[in-house]
Amino acid sequence: MLPVIFGLAGPVVSTEERSLFQRTNPLGFILFGRNVENRDQLSALTDSLREATGRDNLPILIDQEGGRVARLGPPEWLSWPSAATFAAAYTKDPDKARQAARCNFEALGLELAEVGITVDCAPVLDVPQPGAHDIIGDRAFGDGVNSIVQLGATVLDGLAKAGVVGVIKHIPGHGRAAADSHLALPEVSASAEELATDLAPFKALAYAPMAMTAHIRYPAWDDVHCATLSPTIIRSVIREHIGFDGLLMSDDLDMKALEGSIPELGLQAVQAGCDVALNCWGRFDDMCGLADLLPPASGDCRRRLEAAMAARTPFTGSAAELQERKQAVIDERDTLIGQP
C-alpha cells in the first residue's frame, strides 16, 4: 500500500489513473467539485475506486464541513449550516446545541454514505484568536476551548452514527495564523505556554480516528519546519503531548505554504512522521512522482488505518430507510435550534 491519498482529475477514473491505482494501491482518495456531477455518477465513481484497489473499506474523503466549505451542494445535495451556527446556539443552550450538531452531522454523514464516501474532513478544532486570518472564521465551533471540544465531539459522534469517519484538523492548531496557508506559510510566534490553548481541543479529542496537520511554523517547537514536515512537532507535540495515535495525514501538498516538488514534499511529510501524504489536485505527473518516491506504508500506518476504518458501522437499511432516517434527524436538528 502506498501512503498517499490521491485526488482525481475528473468525474470518472481515467484509464491511466486506473492503471496507476491498480499498480500502487494508494491508501485512499479525496474528492472535489470537479469529480462530482450527480448522485448516480458519484456512486459509480466511488464504486470504481473500490474496484480499482480491491478494497471495500476504502477511505474516500471529502471536505464537507457545511457553510462555505462544502464540495457537495444544492440543487443536487442539501445545504448544511456552518460551525458558527452551532457555536451561536451553544452560547444559548449548550445541551440543545450539542444534540443539534450531532443530528446535523449524522444527516450529513448519511448523505455522504449514500454515494459511497467513507471519510469526512471534519471537525475543525482550531481555536480562533483576535487578529488571525479569517480562513478559519465561521468554520470554528466558537472562540473558546469548551464549545469547540463539546461540539467537535458531537460531530465525530454524528458522523460515526452514519458510518463515516471524522478527521480532526488542523493539528496542532490553525487559529492564530495571520495568513492563509493555501497562499503562504504562516508563522505563529506564540510561546509554548500560549499554544497550550490551541492544543487543548486536540488533546480532548485525541481519540479521533484521523487527523490532518497544519502547514504552519511554530518557532516555540521548531523554528525551521512547519508542523507537516517537522519530526519534532509530530513526535513530541502531536504523538506524545497531545496523545494522538490515529491516522495522521498531511494537509494538501499543493498549498503554497510548502515549497518544493510534490513528490519530494510527500516524502518529507512521511519521513517527518505523517502516516500519509495528501495530494489533492489529481495531476497525473505528480501522482506518478509520488508513486516512484514514497516508501510502502509503515506498519504503524497500516495499524492506524485498520483501526480507523474498522470503527465505522455503515448504515445497513434500504435507500428508503436511509432517507427516512436522514429526514428524521434533520427535523430534530431544526426543532432543537430552529431552521439554520
Report, as residue numbers or ranges, the catalytic residues: 182, 251
Q: Which residues pair with 168 in a beta bridge?
A: 211
- C-alpha span between 82 and 96 (Å, rounded): 16
- C-alpha span between 38 and 52 (Å, rounded): 21
- C-alpha span between 16 and 282 (Å, rounded): 12
- C-alpha span between 271 and 28 (Å, rounded): 19
- C-alpha span between 286 and 85 (Å, rounded): 38
Q: In the numeric block, which cell numbers belong to residue 198?
A: 490551541
Maximum distance among all Cα pairs of the chain, rounded to whole angstroms: 54
- C-alpha span between 6 and 58 (Å, rounded): 12
- C-alpha span between 332 and 132 (Å, rounded): 35
**Do residues 202 and 168 make contact, with C-beta atoms less than 8 angstroms apart?**
yes
Containing 251, the helix (H) or strand (E) segment is: strand 247-252
Rounded alpha-carbon distances, angstroms, from residue 267 to 52, 233, 310: 24, 17, 27
Q: In the numeric block, which cell numbers belong to residue 181?
A: 496557508
